Amino acid sequence: MNIIPLFIAIPLGFAFLIPMFSRKVRWLPDMLGNLATLSLVILSFYTIGRTGNYYMGGWRPPIGINLVLDGFSSLMLIMVSGVSFAATLFSVQYMEKYTSKLRYYSLFLLMVAGMNGVALTGDMFNLYVFLEIASIASYALVGFGCDHEELEASFKYLVLGSIASTFILFGIALIYGMTGSLNMAHVGQMIQQQGMGPTLLFAMVMFLMGFGLKAALVPFHAWLPDAHPSAPAPISAMLSGVLIKVLGVYAMMRIFFNVIGVDEKLSWVFIGAGVISMVVGGLLALGQWDYKRLLAYSSISQMGYVILAIGVGGMAMARGGAGANSVAALALLGGLFHLINHATFKSLMFLTSGSVVYGTNTRDLKKMGGLFYKMPITGLCAMVGSLSIAGLPPFNGFWSKLIIILACVKAGFYGIALVAVAVSVITLAYYLKLQKYAFFGEVGEGLKDVKESPSLMCLSMGILAVLCVGLSLLLLPGPRAVLLDPAVEAVLQGTDYITVVLGR
């Protein structure tokens, strides 16, 4: 039996099962939620090294909707299910203080279903539908606490998110008007035949703005530092860890690399946006005194690295010439590796922030201090996470940043490589600040009787912390050939995606 549709069916089914049966039984939502994400983790490992093309309802493209599984989407599926499993494990005890666990898990699983759908779909309008499912669930989850800040952040996020969705829908409509098809592969074929035109350019601008808003690149980043800290901690981990990547970066790469095809101008846009996001996010994070807000700005900065790597890869692909393919492969490897690394360590950091809030009831760094002695496991996990983000050698963040910088140097962008190194130093600076004020120094006032968080929260943080160290192993030739290389190839094949999907 083909497992591809199960990635959408399982979370969707559990999302509606939970509010139906667990009104009376208190522990059932937790059970079902964790069961769903655990089964997704197991299934996602099954997709490694497989490719597939699934026709929904038996209709072949370009008439029917198809689901496409290749290396890139398989990588995304593993990332989404891994982080969501850690988040559900964490929320068993963390979400006790909120009222309605039932609705929480329901919305959570809807969001997971939307993201899995985005990662798998091969149809443009279907992409929009899944994108909206994931976004609507996330709007509601940001405002889950129903307090002043949360509602305000949720409204801001909702307005900007809906504008982004409208732009994307407009782009899709333009593409449909131009090519008369919605299947991504078929659209790609038509675009290759028709060549570049003003309509396509307009659609590309629409897509750039829409997905840029979803990915929080710097000119469009205003919603992220409000929305991500206001959500409950496991949701922040999901939003920062996977949502902006799947909805923003993945969808953007799929459309620009595999459907439309990259050229030099577009790569310059990516590189520019990446560098600006990197620098601005890093500098703004330095001045923050709110634990979660600092992490949110750091997300913008780290997404800058990913976009920069993608831009460099696209540039090498567009320019061509001797050795261009190896440079592009290196850059994209760095970008994708940083993508999954960022998913692990940023969700780890947001979960530790949740643990700190659970213990101390504050997010203000100035009121904390000495938490390392009170909450050793949380402190240790936070330290592992911080050092990984800052890019110190034994951890995974170091390797991915190293690859990105190497790729920049090989492609001839020495200045940009220098900026990337400088931003890495800034990153180290603000994470050292976080460590110093939150976890070391004098024990803060009123924090004398803070206890370590409950066991399941520690367990989920521990899993992610081990992953932070363990993911470095992915660069060894064996694991790399299994997981990362197929993903890089899927992006690198560019518009050959069309022939793979349509089978001609």
Binding residues for other proteins (CB under 8 A): 1, 5, 9, 12-13, 16-17, 19-20, 23, 54-58, 125, 129, 132, 136, 139-140, 143, 146-149, 151-156, 158-159, 162-163, 166, 169-170, 173, 176-177, 182, 225-226, 230, 284, 288, 293
**Of 182 and 382, CB closest to other proteins:** 182
Residue 262 vs residues 90, 337, 486: alpha-carbon distances, Å:
40, 21, 20
**Of 230 and 355, CB closest to other proteins:** 230
**Of 34 and 162, CB closest to other proteins:** 162
Encode 269-284 in three state secondary structure.
Answer: HHHHHHHHHHHHHHHH
Please list the residues that pair with 52 across neighbouring strands. Answer: 69
Structural tokens at position 243:
């949502």
**Of 167 and 372, CB closest to other proteins:** 167
- Residue identified by tokens 């001609």 is 504
CA distance linking residue 420 with residue 495, whole number of Å: 30
Quote the least distance from Cβ 293 to other proteins, whole Å. Answer: 7
Quote the least distance from Cβ 231 to other proteins, whole Å. Answer: 13
Please tell me the chain's helix, strand, coil percentages from 3-state DSSP, rounded to the nearest 5. Answer: 80, 5, 20
**Of 160 and 457, CB closest to other proteins:** 160
* Torsion angle of the four alpha carbons 302, 306, 312, 314, in this order, in degrees rounded to the nearest 10: -150
First to last CA, the chain: 25
CA distance linking residue 246 with residue 194, whole number of Å: 29
Quote the least distance from Cβ 251 to other proteins, whole Å. Answer: 16
Quote the least distance from Cβ 162 to other proteins, whole Å. Answer: 5
Quote the least distance from Cβ 469 to other proteins, whole Å. Answer: 33
Structural tokens at position 84:
């969501």
**Of 167 and 350, CB closest to other proteins:** 167
- Residue identified by tokens 């912390």 is 465
Quote the least distance from Cβ 11 to other proteins, whole Å. Answer: 11
Quote the least distance from Cβ 111 to other proteins, whole Å. Answer: 14
DSSP class of residue 112 equals H
Radius of gyration of the chain (CA): 22
**Of 169 and 432, CB closest to other proteins:** 169
* Torsion angle of the four alpha carbons 355, 470, 85, 55, in this order, in degrees rounded to the nearest 10: 150
**Of 154 and 352, CB closest to other proteins:** 154
Quote the least distance from Cβ 365 to other proteins, whole Å. Answer: 14
Quote the least distance from Cβ 52 to other proteins, whole Å. Answer: 12
Q: What's phi and psi for 420, nearest 5 deg?
A: -60, -40
321 class by beta-carbon count within 10 Å (0-12 exposed, 13-18 middle, 19+ buried)? exposed
Quote the least distance from Cβ 120 to other proteins, whole Å. Answer: 11
Three-state SS for 489? helix
Three-state SS for 216? coil
**Of 223 and 437, CB closest to other proteins:** 223
Three-state SS for 18? helix
- Whether 245 and 304 have beta carbons less than 8 Å apart is answered as no
- Whether 343 and 79 have beta carbons less than 8 Å apart is answered as yes
**Of 56 and 459, CB closest to other proteins:** 56
